[in-house]
Amino acid sequence: MLDHWLSEAWRLVALVVVGVIIGAITGYYSLGILICIVPYLAYHLYNVYQLDQWLRQRKISELPEIGGVYEELYHSVYQFYRRGRAQRRRLTDLLSRFRKGTAAMPDATVVLQSSNEIEWFNHAASRYFNLRAQDVGKRLDNLFRHPSFLKYLSQGNYVQPLLVQSPNDSQLSLQIHVVPYGDNQRLLIARDVSRMQRLEQMRRDFVANVSHELRTPLTVLTGFLESMSDNKDEKISDWSHQIDLMQAQASRMQLIVQQLLLLARLETDVGPPRKNPVDIPEMLKAICSEARALSGEREHDISLDSDDSLWLLGNHEELRSAFSNLVFNAIRYTPPHGKIHVTWKSSDGGVRFAVKDTGIGISENHIPRLTERFYRVDVGRSREAGGTGLGLAIVKHVVQRHEGILKIDSVLGEGSEFSCEFPVSGVIAPPRANDQASTLS
């Protein structure tokens, strides 16, 4: 390659020398050099023009027959072009295989642009969302107008998936994930979870039915046990210890059945609870005095700091059950004379209920699983304390139904804090005395 450039350089030198000789003969050096150089420049100009024409072809097919430096130039450009073409073909192949793969995927995939315009979708997406080829470029939120989907898409927080019914088939439950990527683009993936939902529903129904069926025989059993323990007959009083044990176990079973039924109700009732103004400060006073009675000889130091001007819109029974569970747990898992502090105060985003104790605490690895039903750090201890393992599962559901968040902070051996934060939208001021009077009348 270097040879061509060297001979080109020599050619130029030779031309200049010829030009100088002509200059020496005629006495006009500049003219002599010009006469030799101009055809040389014209030759190169022509070749550059040819190169430009060659490069402008739609498809560069073959190398022209040409020698010298231009042969090298054409060759390098041609190699570069072929490498680019091979790479482009590989990429197109990859893209088309990727598209074929995604198109065949059982999960629906939709590529969305910044304003929710559809850029591409696969077969499953057309089935689940009723999309057609002409919908490319249209906004997905104009085509699928389910309120929770619109809210989910616009909020921009896609950590949790969304569960919705398909607009094409109400029997189809879809779990939607949105993955932001690239330049303001998003990938929407929808999976058919109908089977899982049906199984989950069957599990819920089963637990609810079993609990319901157990309720009547348990009531009969506890009734008989009660009359036996009241009976002063000598034959029966020999069994008094066993009867007491049976009574305790029957009450435990009754509590489990009652809590399972409550959980089943909370799970089935997916919508928000019917909301009424709830006097939380008054409720907490009552819970704290019940807690003192429960503490009894263990003499816990129970204190309450509540803002009486903060009421909450919600379901009285559900909130009472959640808050009392947390306060009674603090009593159960705090040694005698320990401190339990209950607060109800406004916080940054709304209002916060918290129970802080100086109890046994919980090690970090247990915390994420505490709200699973029947999950207990120490099963023996929980049973001994009269626990069922269902309390925190109930609390979590109630708090979620009131759009709140349950937080658990704990240090093993030092104590725990269970807190529930509710959004400001649920907070209301207590009704004035005459409002209450008119409501009562």
Q: Distance between CA 18 and CA 38 in Å, rounded? A: 13
Among 74, 323, 333, 422, binds ligand ADP (CB under 6 A): 333
Binding mask 235-274 toward ligand ADP (x if CB under 6 A, else -) reads ----------------------------------------
Compute the least distance from the CB of residue 415 to ligand ADP, in Å: 7
- Residue 398 CB, shortest distance to ligand ADP, in Å, is 13
The interface with ligand ADP within residues 390-409 (CB under 6 A) comprises 390-392
Query: What are the start-end ranges of the H helices in 27-137?
Result: 29-55, 68-104, 123-129
Distance CA 154, CA 162 (A): 13
359 binds ligand ADP (CB under 6 A): yes
Comparing CB distances to ligand ADP, the nearer of 102 and 321 is 321
For the CB of residue 346, give the shortest distance to ligand ADP in the complex, in Å: 24
- With binding defined as CB under 6 A, does residue 358 bind ligand ADP? no
Adjacency order of strands within the sheet including 276-278: 276-278, 311-314, 427-428
Query: Which residue, 105, 100, 110, is CA-closest to 132?
Result: 110
Cβ-contact 136, 222 below 8 angstroms: no
d(CA 417, CA 300) in angstroms, rounded, equals 16
Q: Rule CB under 6 A: say whether 370 interacts with ligand ADP.
A: yes
- Does 166 bind ligand ADP (CB under 6 A)? Our answer is no
Nearer to ligand ADP, 32 or 387 (CB): 387
The dihedral over CA atoms of 385, 389, 391, 396, expressed in degrees to the nearest 10, equals 150
Instruction: Say whether residue 329 binds ligand ADP (CB under 6 A).
Output: yes
Segment near ligand ADP (CB under 6 A); pick from 135-143, 166-174, 297-305, 384-392: 384-392
- The reply to whether 284 sits near ligand ADP by the rule CB under 6 A is no
The stretch near ligand ADP (CB under 6 A) out of 54-62, 165-173, 191-199, 383-391 is 383-391
Contact between 389 and ligand ADP per CB under 6 A: yes
Q: Which of 108, 110, 330, 406 binds ligand ADP (CB under 6 A)?
A: 330
| Nearby residues of 381 by Cβ (< 8 Å), 6 or more positions away | 333
116 binds ligand ADP (CB under 6 A): no
CA distances from 391 to 30, 60, 82, 328 (A): 105, 76, 70, 10
Which residues is 188 bridged to in the sheet?
A: 110, 178
Q: Which of 290, 273, 285, 309 is nearest to 399 (CA)?
A: 273
Instruction: Tell me the C-alpha distance between 323 and 244, whole Å.
Output: 30
Residues 309-328 that bind ligand ADP (CB under 6 A): 325
CB under 6 A: which stretch of 68-76, 134-142, 239-247, 359-367 binds ligand ADP?
359-367
d(CA 100, CA 98): 5
Which are the contacts of 411, defined by CB distance < 8 A and separation ≥ 6?
Answer: 361
Residues in binding contact with ligand ADP, number by CB under 6 A: 20
Q: Does 388 bind ligand ADP (CB under 6 A)?
A: yes
Binding region for ligand ADP (CB under 6 A): 325, 329-330, 333, 357, 359-360, 362, 370, 376-378, 382, 387-392, 416
